[in-house]
Amino acid sequence: MIPVLSRGEMRAFDAHAIQVSRVPGIVLMENAGRGAADVVERELLGGRAEGRRIVVVAGAGNNGGDGFVVARHLLARGAHVEAWLAGDPARMTADCRTNHDAFVGVGGGVALVPLGASLHGLGDELARADVVVDALFGTGLDREVTEPLASVVRLMNEARRFGRRPRLFALDVPSGLDADTGVALGACVEADRTVSFAHLKLGHVTGRGAQLSGPVHVVDIGVPPSLVAAHSAELVEASDVRAVVHARPIDTHKYRAGHVAIVAGSAGKVGAALLSARGALRGGAGAATIVTWPDAASVLEARIAEVMVARLSSETDDEALDASIDALLMHKRAVVIGPGFGTGAAARRVSSRILASFGGAIVADADAFTMHAGAPEDFAVAGGRVVLTPHSGELGRLLGCASEDVEDDRFAAAREAARRANAVVLLKGAYTVVASPEGRVVVSGSGSPALATAGSGDVLSGLVGALACALPPFEAAWCGAFLHGVAGSAWQKEHGDRGLLAGEIADGLPAVLAALLAEA
C-alpha cells in the first residue's frame, strides 16, 4: 500500500531527513523542484520546454523556494520563464531566498506582485503563458486565504479558464487546499495537475481535493520514502488485493465458498435486495438467501432463479420473531442488513437481534443507518464483526451531524464512527475511506463517476458480504471497495461516464477478479 501523510507527518518526515539523515533542506528543495520541472516538461509541454512561456507565482515560504527551483530548471532547458513573488521579500525563508537568488543569478527575472494595487500586469502575463506554476502556499497552510493573496489565486484560476487557457500546475498541493482534509480554505487554485513531494497528502485522496488537484504525480526528494515513521492512511493497490484474495481450491463447494444472508427488501423496495444478492453471488459467494418480510418474499420469489428467499415471521411477538431470525441465519457465513428493508419497529428489532446473536460477519447498509440514527454504539454489541457501508449523508445520520460536516473531514468522521461503533467503516465516495476500530485507515481510489447510479451501494454491500465469508471484516471492506471501483472504471472505459446500471457493476465483477488473479 502507498502511505498517505498528513501535514504534521510530512513535516516530521522532512525534519528526520534534515536532522537525522543529515540531508540539508536546500538539497531536498532542489530535488523536489527538479522533479517538478521534469513533470511540467513531460506532462504539460510535450517533452520539450524550449521556447515555451512559463510563469511561476511564488510565495515567500518554502513552497515559493520550490517554485524558484522549477523556474531555474525550466529556464536552463530553454523556456522563457518569468517569476512573480507574491509576498514581502524581507520575509522570505532562507532556502526560498537562496533559490530566488540562484534563479536571478542565472538570468531569470523576478517581478513583485503589486499586492493592494492593480494586478493587470500579472494577469496579462498569466494569459500569455503556456504553463502557470502555483508555488504560493504548501502543505502547511491551515487558515483561510484572505486578500490580497485571494485575488492572486482567483487571477490564476481566471487565466486557466479564459484566453489561451494556460495549464495550471500546483506544487505539493494547490494553494488554498487544506492538505489534511481536501477542503478549500477560501480561495483555492484549481490545478490541472499537481506534483506532490515525497508522498501523497491526505487532501489529495478526497473527492474535493482530487477535483482541485487534478492528476497527482509524486516525485522523490532524494531520501528513501521508507524514512516515514507514521502515516495517517494507505492507498490500496491491485497487488494488495491480490495478496489476500486467492484462487479457489479445486474441491470448493457452494457452502465452503460461503452462504450470505441478505436481510433486505420490503413492499415496493425489492430491487435493493436483489442487487445486494447479485453483488454477493458475482463477488464469489456460493449461495445467497434474501431474508425478508412475507409480502416482499412473494414478489422476490418470481424475480431471480439463483437466489433463495426466506420469510421472516409475521408474528408481532418478539420471541417468535427472534426465533425466526435465528433459524433463518443458521449456517450463514455473513449477513447483509439494510438495503430497502424499512425502518420501523419490527425492522429495528430484526437488526438488534442480528447484532446481538449472529456469530459471523455483518454488513450494515442503507436503512440500517436510519434504524440506528445517532447511536453508532448499537453496532458495538457485535464485537467488531460489523462493516458499516454509508455514504456521507448516512454517516452523518448515524453520528448525528450533517453530511457537510462529514465531507469537511472524511478521515476524522470515519475514524470516529469506527471507534464508537467498534466496527469497520467504509465511507463511500470518489475516494472511499475504510477505517478500522483501531484507527487504521485504507483509501481506495479505483472508482469512477459512472458509479454514481442508483443501486451501486447495494451491490457493494453484497460484494463485501461475499468477501467477508473468507476474509476478516477490514480486509473484506477495502478489497470490496477496490474491486467495486475497478468494475465501474472498466465499464466507463467502454461506455463513458454515465448510463451504468447497478446490475452491470455486479456482472463485471467476475472479469475483474479473473484479471486480478491472472496476474498473481
- Higher confidence at residue 267 or residue 417? 417
Q: Classify 290 as helix, strand or coil.
A: strand
pLDDT score, position 54:
96
Give the mean model confidence (pLDDT) for residues 327-333: 91
Check residue 298 and give its pLDDT.
Answer: 84
Q: CATH assignment of 17-231? A: 3.40.50.10260
Share of the chain above pLDDT 70, in %: 98
Angle, CA of 365, 371 and 374, to the nearest 5°: 100
Beta-bridge mates of residue 119: none
CATH 3.40.1190.20 positions along the chain are 252-427+453-472
Strand, helix or coil for residue 13: helix
Section 411-440 average pLDDT: 97
Fold assignment, 252-427+453-472? UDP-N-acetylmuramoyl-L-alanine:D-glutamate ligase (3.40.1190)
57 has a pLDDT exceeding 70: yes
Q: What backbone phi and psi angles, to 5 degrees, belong to 36?
A: -65, -40
CA separation for the pair 285, 269 (Å, rounded): 23
User: For position 461, what pLDDT does the model report?
Assistant: 98
For residue 475, the tally of other CB atoms under 10 A from its CB is 21
Q: Nearest to residue 431, comparing CAs of 265, 152, 210?
A: 210
Domain with CATH 3.40.50.10260 in the chain: 17-231
Per-residue pLDDT band for 520 (boundaries 50, 70, 90) equals low
Of 100-104, 173-177, 252-256, the poorest mean pLDDT is in 252-256
pLDDT higher than 70, residue 270: yes
Among 115-119, 314-318, 333-337, 416-420, which is the least confidently predicted range? Answer: 314-318
The pLDDT-based confidence of 292 (bands split at 50, 70, 90) is very high
What are the CA-CA distances from residue 81 to residues 103, 152, 382 (Å)?
A: 10, 18, 62
SS3 content of the chain, % helix, strand, coil (to 5): 45, 15, 35
Residue 383 CA to residue 470 CA, distance in Å, equals 18
Name the residue type at position 365.
Answer: D
Read off the pLDDT of each residue in 163-185 and give the average, rounded to a whole number. 90
Please work out, in degrees rounded to the nearest 5, the angle formed at the alpha carbon of residue 101 by the alpha carbons of 100 and 103: 65
321, three cell numbers: 420473531
pLDDT at 519: 79
Mean of all residue pLDDT scores within the chain: 93
pLDDT at 255: 76
347-352: average pLDDT: 93
The DSSP secondary-structure symbol of 286 reads S
Q: What pLDDT was estimated at residue 159?
A: 84
> In whole angstroms, what is the distance from residue 505 CA to residue 484 CA?
7
Q: Using 50, 70 and 90 to split pLDDT, how confident is the model at 305?
A: confident
Q: Flag whether pLDDT at 164 surpasses 60.
A: no
Q: For 461-477, how does the pLDDT look when each residue is reduced to its tens digit (9 = 90+)?
A: 999 999 999 999 999 99
Residues 332/260, Cβ–Cβ less than 8 Å: yes
Q: In angstroms, rounded to a whole number, what is the distance separating the alpha carbons of residues 203 and 43?
A: 22
φ, ψ dihedrals at 401, nearest 5°: -140, 175
Q: Which pLDDT score is estimated for 268?
A: 83
pLDDT at 162 over 70: no
Separation between Cα atoms, residue 242 and residue 240, nearest integer Å: 5
